Amino acid sequence: MSAETNAQIARESLEAAFACDWKRLRETYADDATMVGGALNIRGADNMVALWQGCHEEERDLRLEILNIVADHDMVAVEFYFRGIVNQPLPGLPEAMYGKHLDATEVHMCRIQNGKITAVTIYGGVLKSPDVPLRRVWVAE
């Protein structure tokens, strides 16, 4: 598939995840897809959908803005911004964040083969809050 088509698949996957369109999200992943980065090591498309469903339980009112997409052959890099309100304890966040806004950026590298995402590596991100003095930057090794 073309780099442009692969970029569109990566975009549609994130848009589906943030819109809670679980059927469409599942369709973007290969059955044996993986997601790694930070503390994540997810295997299988159904588990990846479950991860995104959990994100919506942890944070409400999630909003997505895709900042950049760069595609070359079967690899697509997506930089995106999202914002939500913390609903429950999140690893590494202070208790003062409950009920507060969390703003974040992440970079995902997606491998796409035969029209499906086969692997996602989360390379880094920035967490901050306009409500609480918080700013965390992390980068995968």
Domains of the chain in sequence order: 3-139 (3.10.450.50)
Position 1 scores a pLDDT of 76
At 133 the three-state DSSP class reads coil
pTM greater than 0.75 (yes/no): yes
Position 127 scores a pLDDT of 86
Position 138 scores a pLDDT of 64
CA distance 127 to 90: 12
The residue count of the chain comes to 141
Position 133 scores a pLDDT of 82
pLDDT tens for the chain, 141 residues: list them: 799 999 999 999 999 999 999 999 999 999 999 999 877 899 999 999 999 999 999 899 999 999 999 999 999 999 999 999 999 877 777 888 889 999 999 999 999 999 999 999 998 788 888 888 877 776 665
- For residue 39, the tally of other CB atoms under 10 A from its CB is 7
**Which is it for strands 116-129 and 101-113: parallel, antiparallel or unpaired?**
antiparallel
CA distance 45 to 29: 6
**Which is it for strands 101-113 and 134-139: parallel, antiparallel or unpaired?**
unpaired
